[in-house]
Amino acid sequence: MMPAARIALLGEVCDINPRLPKSHGLQEDSEVGFVPMAAVNETSGTIEQRLMRRFAEVKKGYTPFAEDDVLFAKITPCMENGKAAIARGLAGGRGFGSTEFHVLRAKESVLPEWLYYFVRQQRFRREARRSFTGTAGQQRVPAAFMAGAAIPVPALAEQRRMVDVLSCAESIVRLRREARKKTERLILAIHADMFGDAAANPKSWPVATLGDVLERIDSGKSPRCHDRPKAPDEWGVLRLSALKHAAYNESDHKTLPDKEVPDARCEVRRGDLLLSRKNTLELVGTPAYVWDTQGRILLPDLIFRLCLRPESGVHPLYLWALLTAPAIRRRLRLMASGTAASMLNISKERLRTLPIMVAPLAHQQAFAEHATALHSILLQQQAALANAEATFEALLARTFRP
């Protein structure tokens, strides 16, 4: 148990959104660090992209910060997702970034890491969400909320001790997450090794169009739903974000209102092969295989279900991995209509024209066996990751308990 600590306001122990001092010493051509919102990884709490800009390009219209400042996303949904990081390794010790960051600069009584872990708490983010101002989709955490938040301030030695504990717990989470990603990549690497490049078709397998092997393409409906998870006896409708990184996340859904009658034809079933027909340039055409489902989950109109002909000679797991291959992903993006600045859309007619190589069924089944075995390992890794994340969150909550 941490010794009793005094309680202070966040605005008392750090400067919030400090201005660039007049004596900054930067010249027009000086290179400074640049951090757009997309450069901060909400999962790891790190700055993943190290970008550089000339001071002349960023001195107006961007948020200034310095080495060891904490960046905290103030806009929805980035704030709820946990986008926060400590700015480190900045050229000349100065940086600029998105205007949607709050900047916290630690005073002598707190460590930067202490502030970072404080704003990373789920409890803090829940309270910050209640303080939102602005219109839907453009809601932000006001600086006044940040300044008035109560934070425990133990002695610096105690802060360092607890930061070390939290850093170790966070490292375990990171390692668990990396292990899971490596297993996911291994499944696709085995597919590439067995069948070769999906576009080059180096083994000269027969080529068919997707329409040749599909019996039909199902699409669902998207009625207005409750923005909450469903109860066991309720029905849910998948969000588009349920398909991400070629994986299916059933928990990402909304609840169908009681007045809406569920269409059983749109229910997601085990063994389904899904594909997002509408999304951003990066995510349009994302496939996912449904390994399991708890039931009472419906397709939205933005997700297709690809139903193979029984006599097609194509295994759904083989096709899922094929649709995930970089060469096929590029072809799917080219099929999408719309502009890169908006949501792109793939029509059923265009999708049916997609050429795919059809390897011998015995080879496909061998791949499916490998994929199934690795999926079992993934489930174990996911459980271990969930335990590590729960431990880390519990430590955060105990460390900053009011």
Q: Which amino acid is at 310?
A: P
DSSP single-letter state for residue 288: E
Instruction: State residue 125's pLDDT score.
Output: 94
Indicate whether 298 pLDDT > 80.
yes
* CA terminus-to-terminus distance, the chain: 13
How high is the pLDDT of residue 327? 93
Q: Quick check: 248 pLDDT over 90? A: yes
Q: Which neighbouring-strand residues pair with 369?
A: none
Q: Is the pTM of this model over 0.85?
A: no
Mean of the pLDDT values across residues 114-135? 94
**Mean pLDDT for the chain?**
93
Residue 40: beta bridge partners? 47
Q: Take residue 10 and report the two structure tokens written for it.
A: 């966040």
Q: What is the pLDDT of residue 325?
A: 94
3 — pLDDT class (breaks 50, 70, 90): low
Contacts of 60 by beta carbon, 8 Å cutoff, 6+ apart: none
The answer to whether residues 242 and 250 touch, using CB atoms and an 8 Å cutoff, is yes
- Mean pLDDT for 55-75 is 94
Instruction: Give how far the C-alpha of residue 59 lies from the chain's centroid of Cα atoms, to the nearest Å.
Output: 30
Where in 48-115 does DSSP place strands (E)? 51-54, 63-66, 70-73, 84-86, 94-97, 101-106
List of residues 6+ apart from 179 with CB closer than 8 A: 381
Q: Is the pLDDT of residue 340 over 60?
A: no
Q: Does the pLDDT value for residue 245 go beyond 60? A: yes
CA distances, 373 to each of 271, 367, 379 (Å): 15, 10, 10
pLDDT in tens, 184-235: 999 999 999 999 998 899 999 999 999 999 999 999 999 999 989 999 999 9
What is the pLDDT confidence band of residue 281, given thresholds at 50, 70 and 90? confident
* pLDDT tens figures, 352-364: 999 999 999 999 9
Q: Is the pLDDT of residue 50 over 80?
A: no
Report the C-alpha gap between 402 and 398 in whole angstroms.
Answer: 9
Q: What percent of the chain has pLDDT over 90?
A: 85
Task: For residue 1, name the pLDDT band (cuts at 50, 70, 90).
Answer: very low
Closest alpha carbon to 355 in 208, 200, 205: 208
Joined together, the tokens standing for residue 398 give: 């105990």
